[in-house]
Structure 1
Amino acid sequence: MGETRVVQTEQIRQPERYEPGFTVSKEKLNYALNEALKKIDGNLKTFRTMFPSHASEHNVYFPMENNDGWNEGFWSGILWLAYELTGKETYKETALAQIPTYTKRITEKLGVNHHDMGFLFTPSCVAAYKLTGNVEAKNTALLAAKHLVSRYCEKGKFIQAWGNVGEEDSYRLIIDCMLNIPLLYWAAEVTGDASYDEMAFHHFNTTADNIIRSNGSTYHTFYFDKETGAPKCGATHQGFSDDSTWSRGQAWGIYGLMLTHMYKKNRKAEELFVPVANYYLNRLPDDYVAYWDLYFTEGSEPRDSSSAAIAVCGLLEAAEVLNDESQRATYLSAANHIMNSLIDNYLTKDIPESNGLLLHATYSKPHNGGVDECNIWGDYFYMEALARMITKNKIKAYW
């Protein structure tokens, strides 16, 4: 375990598209931040202890009365990012007012029969603890980490995504969990309990060894034999086909590899990042914002701006830490090109009734859910990317 598989790296096919040196101007970044803050300010009253829907309807989020989905943490995370970028107490106060809803959720086990504890509790409770020292937030996040490891499957060495643990039809992982396991790395650091780190890193290795194809593309999900833990097959859930590459999944891979590298300084994560990132960049259309599946590189299929925002965060992290200087420069340029397009072409600023940040995201095309809408995780990662770029990676968010 832990040995790097042979994964072929595509060279960047049109290197002129990512020529080093391109940057989004400071003025444009500040403009984008101000536009985002206008929307966030307009949401503060409605979404104080209620949360935005996972995706908009006609570019408008509606309030959800209960904290019981998989994505509430992203709204809390947006508030913490706004607080860090402005210092305004209103954002902090609103985010802290939400902590009891997370405590109630994890203590009463409300809607937690899945692996998305990282998405829920890292941008909300871990962030609150890191920024304010809030003890309730810390303890709540640790309860979430404890719950997450209860989904660890020793046969196969992975965290089961959905369903009751051990169910044959649910004995699988999904690539999204690369963003959930940092909660466990954090828990290990805070508690000194190495088992959190060990299970997270086992899950990382199982994911890397199975969900990344030999050409650097990824499956959305991968199944294992319940009795032996042996790998069975890759498949999709939200992509175009089992053999295609769901663009948001590829973006989860881009960022997830860098997050494990951030904690573990792991050579395998660094080496796999390059083929995964290059595969993604080689399939971006003219405006640098991916279609919902990388099978599509032109035409009228829906885009997924959330995929773009997630990828930017991973590319910015890579531009800080990779050993190869030319790779760092290429990925920094790519991040800036993608972000520049998001700011120029995907903001809701000209739609006054919209309370989202990014247009043209896709939740799940196969399920006809949240197609060509805003979605809250896209808005969060867009804000995180803005924070990273404005502060030159001094704000690295909360993973």
Structure 2
Amino acid sequence: MNLKIKLSALMLLSFSMVKAQKVDVAKAFASAQKQTDLLVKNVDSARAIKPLLVSPRTVEKGAFKMVVSKDWTSGFFPAELWYFYEYTKDKKWLNLAKKYTQDIKKEQFNTGTHDLGFMIYCPFGNGYKLTKDTAYRSVIIQAAKSLSTRFNPTAGVLKSWDHNGDKWKYPVIIDNMMNLELLFEATKFTGDSSFYKIAVSHANTTIKNHFRPDFSSYHVIDYDIQTGKVLQKLTAQGYANESAWARGQAWALYGYTMCFRETKDPNYLKQANGIANFILNSKITPADGIPYWDYNDPQIPNVSRDASAAAITASALYELAKYSKADAKKYKLAADKILLSLSTKYVSKPGANYGFILEHSTGHRPAKSEIDVPINYADYYYLEALLRSKK
């Protein structure tokens, strides 16, 4: 047995022996609120200089990075503010959430991206849930219409990217599963089943083409829109085409759990359970439950972790536990362990990282971008997981 296998076995044994503990949600939220108070101040200072920058994304090489509304991560910051309002019922957070949500509104008409679920549904969906403001509902409906323009009925999927046409013709990434919730919600609001049918077609086609027998997922599938056939199976942000990129597995788990909630189709529950078992049975993930950025990087353990993948996974497992009765205890236990690790070992020191909550996420390692940094979607799904843990 070589050293790496021995190390992995010891880490797995250690993980299985960790005594179950629950995170102190009140303490975690209190700490997160203090950090976010600082983050808001830094956002306002940055916007005073560059008003078109609307949301904080990350800290890279010591620099505070803001993005414009068309960036795929623009909706996470206002969505976090809605979660603070949901937890505290403090009007301070309500007013801030309203203010920063408004900055993303124009993206409802953006037909050049598949990320409208992240950009629009995260802030406006949470805003509507908490306020029932019909203006938010209207934005969600328009965003669903915009997203629907990216659907190709022959291939049966929504196109993800319009860039790098020399690499692929019609790329679909596993991340796109996260944008289907916007379509399901639009059907509820309008009674128009076309949104629902697009979401189901995309989810079904993705099951058919994106997954390996062990339920790990490819990152990118390239389609021929004339025939609907798969041209290539690739990665863009993972280690290799045949590797399992950690955040991609988390997107898949969350996406199919959500699809089961919205459709009650048992195939989606089966898929979510299979993905969950792939993640939880990994002999590579360390004892604290926070995965390396890619499950197949040969440099493990000397590579970066991905706290964002862990936060997404924990949030998804809490929901999946409600539907998978036989595995509910296992899923809750795993989510509790991950969330405890995030809240005790992966949080920023008070006042550090310009106010971001979590450290040690990995954005795009192959591009040498956002490696071992705080990042807004890690914070968003961490707060969501904290809320779900209470339920």
**What residue is the counterpart of 1:148 in the other structure?**
147
Trace 1:253-272 onto structure 2 (pairs within 5 A): 253-272=252-271
1:101 to 84, 100, 103: 103
- For residues 343-367 of structure 1, the C-alpha deviation after alignment (integer angstroms, 9 at most, x for no partner) is 1210002563531111110000001
How far apart, CA to CA, are the structure 1 residues paired with 2:185 and 2:377? Answer: 21
1:39 to 17, 21, 35: 35
SS of the aligned residue for 2:242 comes to: coil
- For residues 71-117 of structure 1, the C-alpha deviation after alignment (integer angstroms, 9 at most, x for no partner) is 1111111000000000111111111123432333334x4xx511000
Equivalent residue letter for 2:203: F
**What residue is the counterpart of 1:346 in the other structure?**
346
1:321 and 1:98, CA in 2 relative to 1: closer, same or farther beyond 3 A?
same
Indicate yes or no: 2:50 matched with 1:22: no
Trace 1:164-183 onto structure 2 (pairs within 5 A): 169-183=168-182
SS of the aligned residue for 2:372 comes to: strand
**What residue is the counterpart of 1:215 in the other structure?**
214
How far apart, CA to CA, are the structure 1 residues paired with 2:196 and 2:17? Answer: 38
How far apart, CA to CA, are the structure 1 residues paired with 2:201 and 2:119? Answer: 22
Q: Percent identity of the aligned residues? A: 29
Equivalent residue letter for 2:71: G
**What residue is the counterpart of 2:227 in the other structure?**
228
Q: TM-score, normalised by structure 2?
A: 0.89
How far apart, CA to CA, are the structure 2 residues paired with 1:328 and 1:20? Answer: 18
Ranked by relative contact order (alpha carbons within 8 Å, sequence separation 6 or more), the top structure is 1
Provide the alpha-carbon RMSD of the alignment: 2.4
**What residue is the counterpart of 1:313 in the other structure?**
315
- For residues 100-135 of structure 1, the C-alpha deviation after alignment (integer angstroms, 9 at most, x for no partner) is 32333334x4xx511000001111112212211222
Equivalent residue letter for 2:295: L
**What residue is the counterpart of 1:70 in the other structure?**
72
How far apart, CA to CA, are the structure 2 residues paired with 1:353 and 1:254? Answer: 29
SS of the aligned residue for 1:244 comes to: coil
Trace 1:318-329 onto structure 2 (pairs within 5 A): 318-324=320-326, 327-329=327-329
Judge which range, 143-152 or 288-297, deviates more.
288-297
Unaligned runs of 5+ in 2: 1-10, 48-52
**What residue is the counterpart of 1:374 in the other structure?**
374
- For residues 259-293 of structure 1, the C-alpha deviation after alignment (integer angstroms, 9 at most, x for no partner) is 00110111011111222111112221122100000
Displacement after TM superposition at 1:249 (Å): 0.1
Judge which range, 341-350 or 257-266, deviates more.
341-350
- For residues 207-247 of structure 1, the C-alpha deviation after alignment (integer angstroms, 9 at most, x for no partner) is 11111111111101111112101123321010000010000
Whether the 8 Å contact between 2:127 and 2:136 is mirrored in structure 1 is yes
How far apart, CA to CA, are the structure 1 residues paired with 2:301 and 2:319? Answer: 31
Q: Matched residue pairs, number?
A: 371
Whether the 8 Å contact between 1:348 and 1:354 is mirrored in structure 2 is no
SS of the aligned residue for 2:60 comes to: coil
1:20 and 1:268, CA in 2 relative to 1: closer, same or farther beyond 3 A?
farther
How far apart, CA to CA, are the structure 2 residues paired with 1:301 and 1:316? Answer: 28
Whether the 8 Å contact between 1:364 and 1:370 is mirrored in structure 2 is yes
How far apart, CA to CA, are the structure 2 residues paired with 1:359 and 1:160? Answer: 31
Unaligned runs of 5+ in 1: 1-12, 393-399
How far apart, CA to CA, are the structure 1 residues paired with 2:227 and 2:360? Answer: 42
Whether the 8 Å contact between 2:169 and 2:224 is mirrored in structure 1 is no
How far apart, CA to CA, are the structure 2 residues paired with 1:225 and 1:168? Answer: 13
Trace 1:281-292 onto structure 2 (pairs within 5 A): 281-283=280-282, 284-292=285-293
**What residue is the counterpart of 2:60 in the other structure?**
57
SS of the aligned residue for 2:218 comes to: coil
1:172 and 1:148, CA in 2 relative to 1: closer, same or farther beyond 3 A?
same
Displacement after TM superposition at 1:59 (Å): 6.1
Structure with bigger helix share is 2
Whether the 8 Å contact between 1:20 and 1:329 is mirrored in structure 2 is no
Equivalent residue letter for 1:80: W
Displacement after TM superposition at 1:67 (Å): 1.2
How far apart, CA to CA, are the structure 2 residues paired with 1:118 and 1:18? Answer: 35
Q: TM-score, normalised by structure 1?
A: 0.87
Whether the 8 Å contact between 1:46 and 1:63 is mirrored in structure 2 is no
Equivalent residue letter for 1:370: E
